[in-house]
Amino acid sequence: MNNSPSLVALVGGEEFSSYCVEMDTKILSLIKPLSGKPKVAIVPTAAAFQRPDLAAENGVKHFRSLGADSYAVNILSKSDAEDDKFIPDLKEANLIYLTGGDPNHLVSVFSDSHILELIGTLTNQGCFLAGSSAGAMVLGNQMFHRNVTTGLSLIGDIITLPHHENSDPASIHKSIVSKLPKDSKVYGIDGGTGLIFTKTESEILGKGAVTSYSQNGWTVSTSRRTT
């Protein structure tokens, strides 16, 4: 993930559930705030048409229960993504967490916006970036949602396929992976499961598996640390 954030979590869905306690505790342990509790900004943009208030509330309660100072940053529309009022809360955050919902809406809101530029700057300066389901799908240069389309280009050539527990790897490989550029990385991540990247390693946490695809095939891994 060259020229990308050094701290990233890709979650396959079921965010803020009991299955995510271990991974989110690990994420918080990697955050080193200058003082006080880690600050977590829950951004429910993808849930704009699906009770964003509830999505944000669930995230805020979840991270507070883990000892963080968490709060909602309710960027829901394109005009919100150009509104400077959200800048202080994002700048204060040690972790920016994009919830699940509609990936196309999330891309349409953030693309070419001041907020996207700010998030890119903050995460490259050490802020942790996490996305679940739609929030994870959009982070790479490309995403797959019915077709391969443009993502937000925050983490390079990575495509995330969430809720992967019901997918057929052979079909995924034939329909998606074989058509991508050779260097693209594709991860199928089960619900309640996360793939955490740091500067030196990656780690799988949660109840399910991560399927890593290459041009030659795929491998399935459960909770473990890799270099």
Least confident of 2-16, 33-47, 127-141: 2-16
Query: Is pLDDT at 219 greater than 70 in this prediction?
Result: yes
Residue 218 C-alpha from the chain's centroid = 22
pLDDT at 225: 53
> CA-to-CA distance for 158 and 136, rounded, in angstroms?
10
The tens digit of pLDDT for each residue in 177-208 reads: 777 777 789 999 999 999 999 988 999 999 99
Output the CA–CA distances (angstroms, integers) from residue 155 to 7, 118, 140, 217, in the order listed: 10, 14, 5, 23
pLDDT at 226: 47
Output the CA–CA distances (angstroms, integers) from residue 217 to 97, 168, 172, 197, 223, in the order listed: 31, 12, 10, 22, 20
The tens digit of pLDDT for each residue in 60-106 reads: 999 999 999 999 999 999 999 999 999 999 999 999 999 999 999 99
pLDDT at 224: 65
Query: Any bridge partners for residue 43, and if so which?
Result: 98
Average pLDDT over residues 25-38: 91
Q: What is the model's pTM?
A: 0.94
pLDDT band at 2 (very low <50, low <70, confident <90, very high): very low
Read off the DSSP letter of residue 21. Answer: H
pLDDT at 181: 74
User: With contact defined as beta carbons under 8 Å apart, do 93 and 40 qualify?
Assistant: yes
